[in-house]
Structure 1
Amino acid sequence: MNANDYLDLLEIKFQKYFDVSRNMYILDNKIDMFAICNVVNSRTFITQNDIVDSYENNEYCFVKVFDCIDSMDIIYFCDFLKEALMKFVKPKANHMNSFITGVIVCDGLKEEVIDLVKKFKYSKAYKFYLYGWSEIRLILIDMKSKRVISNKPGKKVIKVYQFTS
C-alpha cells in the first residue's frame, strides 16, 4: 500500500462524518487531505424550538504526506497545527471542545522523530473553560513498517488510522 492508497482509505472512513477536501493550501502549506466535523448537541423542552441548552464539538483533521521525515519537519508541522488552531477554533458560549488532528504519512522514520511525536502536547482553555477548550492530536503513520504512533491525546482516535488487514 502506498500513501495515495492510504489517503483513499482514510477518505472513505471520513466521508460518513466529515466534510473532506483533497490537495488544499491552508496557511501557505500544502495539505493532502483536510476534513472538518462540526456537531451541535441540543436539549429541548416540549418542542424543538424550546432549547434548554446546546453545545458544539468540532474536529479539524490535517493529513500531510512526507517522502522523508526528520525532526525539523515534525517541529514545523506542529507549529502549523498550533497556527491552524488559532485560525479555525472560534470559542463562544456554547463551544465545548475542538480537536486539531495532525496526521503525518511517511515512508520510514527515525527514533528521534518517534520521541518528538510521543512527547508533543498542546491544549488551550478559553475563558477558564467557560468557552470550552482545544487540544492537538498528532498521529504519525509509517507506511514502510505499517506502524501508527501518536501523542497521548491521539491515542483516543488511533484505531481510525490503523491499517486494516
Structure 2
Amino acid sequence: MVLKRILAAHEQWFDVRRGYEYAGRTFPGYAEFHSYGEKYVLVKSAKLWEVDTHEYLFFVLADALDETQVRDLVSFMEHDGLKKVVPKPNHMSSAISLVIVADSCTQEAAKAVRKTRFRKNFALGIRGWADLRVAIADLSANRVITNAAGKQLKTTLEANLLPRS
C-alpha cells in the first residue's frame, strides 16, 4: 500500500512503471525523470548553453532489511544502475536512486545506508556526473533513512508513509 502511494506521488513528474525488469532483477516500481534546459541570447540560434539532467528511481520491497541486503542493492546500483546513465555532450547530472520500502530495518542496515557515498564523473566532469541516492522507508518505525545525496527523497517518502485521512 505504501509503495502504491509513493509511485502515485511520482506519476505527475516521472514516467512510472510497475513490475519493471532490469539486469536480471524485477523491481515492483521504477520511475524515470528527464529535464532539458537551455539559455540563449535574443534568438534561439544564439545558444549559450544547454543541459540535460536525469533521475532513475528503483523501488524495492523488503520484509526484514539487513546490512547484507543493503550492500547487495547498493552494489547493484553502482554497477548495473549506473549503466542507465548516458553521458552525452549536454549531460550535466544524473541521479540513480534506490528506495527500499521495508517492513523492518536493522540498525546496521540504517547505518550502511547513511554511510553510502557514490559519485561517478564522466570525462573528468566535462560530461557531467552521477550520484547515488539511497533511502529506506522503515514501516516498523515510521521513519525514512537516507544517505547524504538521498535527502531530497525524504520529503516525498515521509508524506506517503501514513495513509491520508
Q: 1:115 corresponds to which letter in structure 2?
A: K
Distance 1:85 1:7 in 2: 20
Quote the residue 2:143 is aligned against: 147
**Residue 97 (str. 1) matches residue 75 (str. 2):** no
Task: Write the distance in 2 (CA, Å) between the matches of 1:150 and 1:31.
Answer: 19
SS at match of 1:144: coil
The amino acid that maps onto 2:133 is: R
Match of 1:69 in 2: 65
Structure 1: gaps (5+ residues): none
1:49 deviation in Å? 4.8
2:74 is aligned with 1:78: yes
Query: 1:120 matched to which residue of 2?
Result: 116
Aligned-partner residue type, residue 56 of structure 2: Y
RMSD value, Cα: 1.5
TM superposition score normalised by structure 2: 0.91
The aligned residue for residue 40 of structure 2 is: 44
Of the structure 1 ranges 76-85 and 127-136, higher mean CA displacement relative to structure 2 is found in 76-85
Residues 18-70 of structure 1: per-residue CA shift (max 9 Å, x gap): 00000111111111110000001012333445433200110000000012222
Contact preservation (8 Å) 2:135, 2:153: no
2:51 corresponds to which letter in structure 1?
Y
Gaps in structure 2 of 5+ consecutive residues: none
CA contact (8 A) 2:16 2:32 kept: yes
Corresponding residue number in structure 1 for 2:51: 55
Contact kept in structure 1, 2:82 and 2:96, CA below 8 Å: no
